[in-house]
Amino acid sequence: MNDEFKAGPEEAMVLERIRSAAPPRADSAFREKLKLEFVSGEIPERHAVISLPEPKRAHRVRWIAAMAAAASITIVALALNQAPRWVVMPSAGSGILLVNGIPHSIEDAAALSRHLRPGARLVLQSAQDLDLVSSGLLAMQLAPGTEAVLPAPPGRWFGRVGRASVSRGHLRLTTGHRFDGSRLSITTPDATVQVTGTTLAVIAEENGTCVCVLEGTAHVRPHKGSMTPVTPGTRCEVARGERESHSGEIRVAERPKLLDLRDRLKSVMD
């Protein structure tokens, strides 16, 4: 079988005309433009730019990376915002501290500190006062027999409001330099005490609540009454079930206790 193409008379005539035809002449304007570009060396590169759609996988990877970065920043911010944890200061006394009903010896301050968490209900069964410190922020002293709820120390940038309560007994506290701009709210059976930077005692007794302020200013509001400022060297008393508060000089017994607390813990609060 022979597959070779053999031109017929008509095909042969067409091929002869193509071979004998003169080559087409370029347009004179195009020739002149090409000549100038060649001589000047400014012949532009001509190529096609094809825009391809961004792969979905690459877009998803970038989205996941951005979310991971945001989560990392949030975690770091939360870690840096955390206040120093509560630490029990060594005590020369003996006895126990009930933490949510579980007894712990106060003689091993380090072991006791590991059980302290914000919101824990504390009851001191001892013959000696017990000091708790969040370095640079707050120092609290529980007197024997005191029942209180431990507050969360205010954060560095946000979460700067703490809440505590005293059901019975004496709670003395002094604030440190890192407490500036924060607020602590202390609730008793009779009133709410607002602390914004001060040294004071909150005393919950059977017949009412007494707040004694050594320095700074606190604000006391009976549960059904209005707010009253308590200035340095004064006290505010709210009788059980009363809507009004009464002011007077700081209790004589509280002044040396508060001075001792402030001065003794000054090194860990400044």
pLDDT digits (tens, 9 = 90+) for 135-144: 889 999 999 9
pLDDT of residue 64: 72
What is the domain count for the chain? Answer: 2
Q: Which domain holds residue 265?
A: 85-269
Mean pLDDT of the chain, nearest integer: 83
Which of 79, 113, 133 is the C-terminal boundary of a domain? 79
pLDDT of residue 56: 65
Q: Are residues 193 and 136 in the same domain?
A: yes
Which of 48, 79, 110 is the C-terminal boundary of a domain? 79
Asked if residue 127 belongs to a domain, the reply is yes
Which pLDDT tens digits describe the chain residue by residue (270 residues)?
455 556 566 666 666 666 666 666 656 776 676 666 666 656 555 554 555 565 666 666 666 766 666 665 555 444 444 558 999 998 878 899 999 999 999 999 999 999 999 999 999 999 999 999 998 899 999 999 999 999 987 755 544 688 999 999 999 999 998 888 899 999 999 999 999 989 999 999 999 999 999 999 999 999 989 999 999 999 999 999 999 999 999 999 999 999 999 999 988 887
pLDDT of residue 266: 86
pLDDT of residue 78: 41
Give the CA distances from residue 137 to residues 15, 86, 140, 185, 266, in Å, rounded to whole numbers and listed in that order.
Answer: 103, 10, 10, 15, 11
Q: Are residues 69 and 100 in the same domain?
A: no
CATH number at residue 139: 2.60.120.1440
Say if CB 235 and CB 247 are below 8 A apart: yes
The phi-psi region of residue 29 (left if phi > 0; otherwise alpha if psi is between -120 and 50; otherwise beta) is: alpha
Asked if residue 206 belongs to a domain, the reply is yes
pLDDT of residue 246: 95
Q: Are residues 91 and 61 in the same domain?
A: no
**Cα distance between residue 250 and residue 258, in whole Å:** 11
Say which residues have a Cβ less than 8 Å from residue 170's Cβ, sequence separation at least 6: 141, 142, 143, 146, 201, 202, 203
